[in-house]
Structure 1
Amino acid sequence: MNTEEHQRLFIHRGTFPVRGVSFGTMFKPAEYSANDQLARRETSDFIQEYSNEIGQMSGRCLDIGCGPCDLVVDSLLPVLNPKATVVCSDISKPMLDYAKEKYGANDRLSFLQLDIESPTLAEDLVEQFDHVTSFYCLHWCEDMRQAFENIFDLLRPGGSGFLTFVSDFPCMDAYKVLAAIPRYQRYMTDADRFIPVFQHAERPRESLKMLLEKVGFEVCHCSSRERIYIYETPDAFAKFMACVNPFIHRMPSDLQREYRIDLDIEARKHTFIVNKDRNNDYSILSRRHTFVVYLKKPLVH
């Protein structure tokens, strides 16, 4: 890997007008919750795979990018040590408000608005967490090194973290195509910022592991898993792509309809048609790679 690629992966992807983990559905928590079933199922599988490690997580835990908090409640809490509490954090206030309204009565949960990429982490958060989890969030970061340095600083010495996030999702390359279309250009000037940083890296797993070690972590596990998603109908796939799209909410309503159609067309170029029947009904198969990471902060650093 050359110096230029090291800088792109390890330091920063450029300066953009919006910081932090940000995407369109942060403004529509219910829509996100209704369309993230496949990712939730996959993450639940990963949690079960690492149930021994996660089951030992006790004390004060932080979940980064909790979103609507469904996954924390349904999949994480049952596996964590019963004495563990979880601070559910997200950059999005609408997401947190939705989560608090739905799960605020759970005495094992509290809520915190947090930008994991902030260059000025609040001092009262430093080394205040025994463990950190994050599921399908960190691929939205523009500055991966800052995000991981903050996770390192949030953890107490000896603390651990379990993280899953997208390594590459070919369908997101549709953003570059759509950003070049004149009617969408003004709404997609930062399109590159929403394509996972490791999307076209030659050796993504090795690059991520090197970054984590440079930050100071002991990397106990780091893998990139290919995952296959089958959407039962073309409409289900289109709804998913729209619900995670960061640009639609920026557009006027008449253009949104047109954009959704073009997004579906371009994204489908990276998918396969399966289960086609005599009525010409069919399902959509897409693939992506997901990082699965288990790490620890050394007792002495």
Structure 2
Amino acid sequence: MEKVVILGTGPAGLTAAVYLARANMEPLVIEGPEPGGQLTLTTEVENFPGFPDGIMGPELMDNMKKQAERFGATFKRGWVTEVEIEERPFTLHISGMDDIKTEALIISTGASAKMLQIPGEKENIGKGVSTCATCDGFFFRGKKVIIVGGGDSAMEEATFLTKFADEVQIVHRRDELRASKIMQDRARDNKKITWALNKTPVEMMSDGMKISGLKVQDNETGEEQILESDGIFVAIGHNPNTKFLKGKLNMDEKGYLLVEPGTTDTNVPGVFACGDVQDQKYRQAITAAGTGCMAAMDSERFLEGEAVLDWSQNL
């Protein structure tokens, strides 16, 4: 019987593990197929406090894991296929290992950026391909970049990138944008933003070291051309990793878990959610870590309250 199990090893899950381990709660952390979360797909992280010279994403996550292990957190690799949270203790079904029972559960499984799934994309992540303008925009000061997408997030990221890049080109496979009118107008009024609409991305071009451009196909003529660029930002949305929780916990139409405002409490007592799995607005390492701290404290107080209740019933 575990006191508390944490699902996920991004900034949220590892921060929760550090706090719980230091409180002698002996948390068990289940690592999924991509330990470390989205930060392991980045190169240098310059906006996480405490690292004035920056730090590599994988190194930052490895340091967090070592810190949690130092205080007594245990890590196991596995894939959670189903959870039984109708009654406590909760039961977790995990591929490759026996079922686990726990008194409290912290879900920090994150959200995965939607990708274009075209040649040159996956192998160039961190080499000019990014899914986070806020994280990586600074690296493209004075450069020319491309944003792929037509929604509000794409318009927002394009506008943000104009603070650094000399030119930001928006590529969208339709001739009309999905973004709200106010976001479209803001982008169209920005002189640094150019447009390549009704064009489908075909391949990301690279010189072997970094991105050099994006090959697109004109949807009307079928003609292909290469749009030169120093960086490509994919902004077509995110998918929260919550499929295994459908019908178990309250979530919005996109699948993000809903929590009580100001807490990490889900609709099931004893189950808490932190990080990008419940945040589609900020999606930053530092905000994820903050909610990881909240989840640790919320779960600790929940378990202490249960212990007090059990003790009083024995009087």
TM normalised by structure 2 equals: 0.29
Could you say which structure has the higher strand fraction?
Answer: 2
Could you say which structure has the higher helix fraction?
Answer: 1
When Rg is computed on C-alpha atoms for both structures, the one with the higher figure is: 2
TM normalised by structure 1 equals: 0.30
